[in-house]
Structure 1
Amino acid sequence: MELTLIGIGTGNPEHLTLQAIRAINAQDLILIPRKGEGKADLADLRRAICDEVLTNPETRIVEFDLPVRDENTPDYRQRVDDWHDAIASAWQSAMAEAPDAARVALLVWGDPSLYDSTLRIAARLDPARQIAVIPGITSLQALTAAHAIPINDIGAPFLVTTGRRLRDEGWPNGVDTLAVMLDGGCAFQSLPPEGIHIWWGAYVGMKEQIIRQGPLADAADDIVRTRARARAAHGWIMDIYILRRTI
């Protein structure tokens, strides 16, 4: 038995690698999570990808409802662990609809290795089920491509972090460039804006892509407004940004 986690980029079928397309067509079963009506576009995009590249008539597609994280548990790590347990159980129930499927796949946004918990959830399954990973284009790559910039200065490090850590801990020491993911609250607003440049993007790589850039002092308010409008229009948003100290 094998579970394949296939990186599909940011929702654009053109982000799929040949390896990903071959892996999709090698499956007995593909699982598609539903995240509620407000995020129906996410399931629609996975279906569209399958419609675009799936040519194997034997491959079955099963959809399942993704559990919602309980935000009432005070401990953050416990909330996440409980949620991951619930997702693993949902996977098992969905797989039970095709008990003879030896090869099962999940289509993972971006790449399963970068700020994605699919591999950690997969580790909760039957240890007899082998795990295979197909890498995908990440939102970070799509963002730098959209702005036509390198992520690092010459010979300099950069740090990938989350909005929660940036808000709670401030700018990390020893690095001048940050890539910030999983930021639902525009944590860049917590920083003194002087001497910082921001490159922001939402739905990067997709037809809905929106990008903004400029000195943080000038761009922050526009990004906050643009983000709110986009989220209201689509019911969901995926965004990412790079911050760089310029002085």
Structure 2
Amino acid sequence: MSASTVRVIGFGMGPQHVTPEAADALRSCDYVLAAAKGAEDPLLAIRRAVCEQYGAELVAVPDPERDRDAATTTATAGYDRAVRAWHTARVESYRAVLEERGGTAGFLVWGDPALYDSTIRVVEQLGLPFDVIPGISAPQLLAARHRMVLHEVGRPVHLTTARRLREDIAAGQRNLVVMLGSAPDLEGLEDWQVWYGANLGAPGEQLAAGRLGDVGEASLRVAREHARAIDGWVMDLYLLRGPR
């Protein structure tokens, strides 16, 4: 037996961000698959709350271990290899459940599936029909919380990761949304403006904004850890804008 359809559903940062389209997609699923990173996984608990609200069964699948040592051997190559191996292991874990249960399976994606998430890449490897329902992304929430537009008039915004921040600045980027990184190198950027957000939409939400030299890297670290202490997890991002 195999699953007839897979639905990749963006759900923003929690039940409060589930759109009517995503809610309908959830109700159409026989069950939802979710990676479980241990017995006390707070992110799994949020997915479970979403499923309960819309009457979907959640099936937790133990998440394969990722080789984080290999990911640090080189800046890019080791990281890419480790992530590919991790994705392959995830594919096989999900495939086993899909072949056993059949039906229509959903995957709940934090934020939006199109942005710094690999669920679509994993699902493509399953070789099953699937569709994608968009969700509210973290950069959207960051802009809303700070009541701003992510780009200046007629200018671009560059989405990147903390791992690539220095490389992108050296290439001339001056307006960057930075994701996926807890300890970026911000030395020498004291005159840049920062708009920061951690755990947006969660009880532990933290915000900070201003000239980076005035806000201070230490304050951003404190905000990050405060969010973690409240919610049991942390996801943060920020907009950096260089001086004209």
User: Fold-level match, TM-score > 0.5?
Assistant: yes
CA distance in 2: counterparts of 1:42 and 1:230, whole angstroms: 14
In structure 1, the partner of 2:122 is 121
CA distance in 2: counterparts of 1:224 and 1:207, whole angstroms: 18
> 1:11-90, aligned counterparts within 5 Å?
11=14, 13-37=15-39, 40-54=41-55, 59-73=56-70, 74=73, 75-90=78-93
CA distance in 1: counterparts of 2:207 and 2:221, whole angstroms: 12
The reply to whether residue 196 of structure 1 matches residue 195 of structure 2 is: no
1:195 offset after TM fit, Å?
2.3
CA distance in 2: counterparts of 1:210 and 1:183, whole angstroms: 16
Contact 1:69 1:83 in 2 (8 A): yes
| Ranges in structure 1 where 5+ consecutive residues have no aligned partner | none
Q: May I ask how many residue pairs the two structures share in their alignment?
A: 234
Quickly say closer, same or farther: Cα 1:234–1:18, change in 2 above 3 A.
Answer: closer
CA distance in 2: counterparts of 1:212 and 1:137, whole angstroms: 21
1:173 offset after TM fit, Å?
3.4
User: The residue matched to 2:59 in structure 1 has which SS?
Assistant: strand
The reply to whether residue 173 of structure 1 matches residue 171 of structure 2 is: yes
User: The residue matched to 1:93 in structure 2 has which SS?
Assistant: helix
2:43 counterpart letter in structure 1 = L
Query: Among residues 219, 222, 226, which one is paired with 2:219 in the alignment?
Result: 222
Contact 2:68 2:82 in 1 (8 A): yes
Quickly say closer, same or farther: Cα 1:117–1:172, change in 2 above 3 A.
Answer: farther
1:2 offset after TM fit, Å?
1.2
1:51 offset after TM fit, Å?
1.8
Deviation per CA, 1:198-223, whole angstroms, max 9, x where unpaired?
01111112232111111101112211
| Ranges in structure 2 where 5+ consecutive residues have no aligned partner | none
Deviation per CA, 1:95-119, whole angstroms, max 9, x where unpaired?
24423x1x11000001111011111
User: The residue matched to 1:123 in structure 2 has which SS?
Assistant: helix
Deviation per CA, 1:162-206, whole angstroms, max 9, x where unpaired?
000014x25153432100010121x1x434123201011111122
User: The residue matched to 2:153 in structure 1 has which SS?
Assistant: coil
Using the aligned pairs only, state the percent identity.
35
CA distance in 2: counterparts of 1:53 and 1:224, whole angstroms: 36
CA distance in 1: counterparts of 2:214 and 2:236, whole angstroms: 19
Moved over 4 A (4+): none
1:240 counterpart letter in structure 2 = L
1:81 counterpart letter in structure 2 = R
User: The residue matched to 1:136 in structure 2 has which SS?
Assistant: coil
TM-score for both structures, normalised by structure 2: 0.89
